[in-house]
Amino acid sequence: MSQIRHALTTRREDDFAAWYQEVISAADMAEESGVRGCMVIKPWGFGIWERMQRLLDDRIKAAGVENAYFPLFIPLANFEREAAHVEGFAKEMAVVTHHRLIADNKGGLIPDPEAKLEEPLVVRPTSETIIGDAMSRWTQSWRDLPLKLNQWANVVRWEMRTRMFLRTSEFLWQEGHTAHENEADAKAETMRALEMYRAFAEENCAIPVVAGEKPENERFPGAVETWSIEAMMQDGKALQAGTSHYLGTNFAQAANIRYQDREGGQALAHTVSWGVSTRMVGGLIMTHGDDDGLRVPPALAPQQVVILPMLRDKPEDSEIIAWCEDLRAGLAAHHVLGEPLRVLLDTKPGKAAAKRWDWVRKGAPVIIEVGPRDMENGVVSLLRRDALWDEASGKPAFQSPARDEALTRVPAILAEMQTGLLAEARARRDANIVRGITDMDALAAFFGGEAKYPGWVEVQWSKPTGGALDKVVEQLKTHRLTLRNVPLDAAPADGTCVFTGEPAVERVLVARAY
């Protein structure tokens, strides 16, 4: 029995959903705003998102994609053109109908009836239709292709049940939109974006993912193919962490994205879109959080090292602060993971121990405490967030390197932690993917069994479509299960379909999902 007194009230193993909420609050990442379905992203949560933005944006730019910005408001007419698309989004769109407020007779404000818009505007739920308009203007000739654009933006989908970072009415994301001469080029871009997301998730976020194609019923409204990266959370559920869609000529037809081809004829462009959102922050929490709060992989940590001088509101404080500032500057001169090391000297009021636990809950990778005796001895007290406890004593596992030793040890710890967190998550994920279940009863039994947090099951299937697929989806739904994706790197099929009994053609992941 461990004597460790963890920093959170709720354990993951007891109530994962409550634990998730507690981490967000304890790590000071976000809170409900009071505006229906919208959250406030607080500085620590937003700092992590900014790091994600920076690292993903570098990858986007390196692929020759250019950032641009398109209107927040989309005319209804744009949606009317693509039937499947509007079908998918019409039920959850915020609609602007007026452009002025006036006082009512009770001292309040109401939309001014005299300022009603002739045509209501929709707050973008995604921008295929408005960017399609621009593409139709910008694409005259094959020489203008490929056209590769990306936008960092807020979007709104009027969700009825919301959950911070995972499903909010307003969320932040990037949406890539590209146009190509032909299907082959467009599909290649679809796969490039997918691979970019895989690398971003694994190398930057330390979140292992399975890249694969979504089944027909899970496609983006209006897409020909939808591909995703799926991550396993610590409760065994799947989180779709990024998607890449081959849209065929559907949106090009709707927005009239035509160009003069190499033979002088007129052709429709093939378009692609791909997106990653603030949902990834939720995925980060549920991948790397533990019973002491969040653990932020060093690549994403707004501060990789936090230095806490023990202050006593005495004149000697200035000496210890100067010593710590020197240490801070020494660490900041190092590079780790290709960037200057990010280190904060925290001199805010408060007791050192209380501040330590605040930073533990926030998940700062390395915490360095410096007391008067440390300073005298020229050492620091160093705590790794990924190895917080000494199991034997039940106490925090402080290391005490000499100051100069710390300067070289810290960058090594950070680099090691980045790969260590990925390896830990990958091992857990791999241990929780079950293969070899061959019939629906066994599948239901597995998810209905003793495991509180069952993982994923990879089954063989005959890839039914249309009504036959609907039946499979319905059947799975009764067990709260969903089809995730057909992994790119799955073994070939060699058996029968777990749902239909027909010969299997490929393997698909089945899981509970966020």
Applying CB under 8 A, which of residues 72, 84, 415, 468 lies at the interface with a copy of itself? Answer: 72
With binding defined as CB under 8 A, does residue 294 bind a copy of itself? no
Q: Label residues 219-231 b or e (16+ Cβ within 10 Å = b).
A: bbbbbbbbbbbbb
Residues 6 or more apart whose CB falls under 8 angstroms from that of 497 comprise 460, 461, 462, 464, 503, 504
Q: Pick one of 59, 63, 71, 261: the residue that binds a copy of itself (CB under 8 A).
A: 71
Residue carrying structure tokens 């990925």: 422
Site string for a copy of itself, 127-146 (x = CB under 8 A): ---x--xx--x-----x---
The conformational region for residue 399 under phi > 0 = left, psi -120 to 50 = alpha, else beta, is beta
Nearest in space to 453 (alpha carbons), one of 208, 237, 231: 237
Q: Tell which positions 92-121 bind a copy of itself, by CB under 8 A.
A: 92-102, 107-111, 120-121
Options 147-155, 291-299, 321-329, 376-384: segment touching a copy of itself (CB under 8 A): 147-155
Compare residues 77 and 431 and give the one whose CB is closer to a copy of itself: 77
Which one, 71 or 420, has the nearer CB to a copy of itself?
Answer: 71
Residue 213 CB, nearest distance to a copy of itself (Å)? 30
Report in angstroms how near the CB of residue 270 gets to a copy of itself at its nearest: 20
- In the bound state with a copy of itself, the residue whose beta carbon lies nearer, of 100 and 395, is 100
Stretch that binds a copy of itself, among 73-81, 222-230, 331-339, 472-480 (CB under 8 A): 73-81
- Per DSSP bridges, beta strands 343-345 and 305-309 are parallel
N-to-C CA span, the chain: 33
* Cβ-contact 329, 269 below 8 angstroms: no
289, two tokens: 């959080």
459: β partners: 508
The H or E element containing residue 197 is helix 183-199
Give the integer Cα–Cα distance in Å for 198 and 482.
Answer: 21
> What span, in angstroms and rounded, lies between the C-alpha atoms of 138 and 136?
6
Sites for a copy of itself among residues 341-370 (CB under 8 A): 348-350
Per rule CB under 8 A, is residue 47 in the interface with a copy of itself?
Answer: yes
Which of these ranges, 91-99, 290-298, 307-315, 404-412, lies near a copy of itself under the rule CB under 8 A?
A: 91-99
Give me the residues that bind a copy of itself (CB under 8 A), please. 31, 33-35, 38-43, 46-47, 49-50, 66-76, 79-80, 86, 90-102, 107-111, 120-123, 130, 133-134, 137, 143, 149, 153-154, 156, 158, 170, 172, 348-350
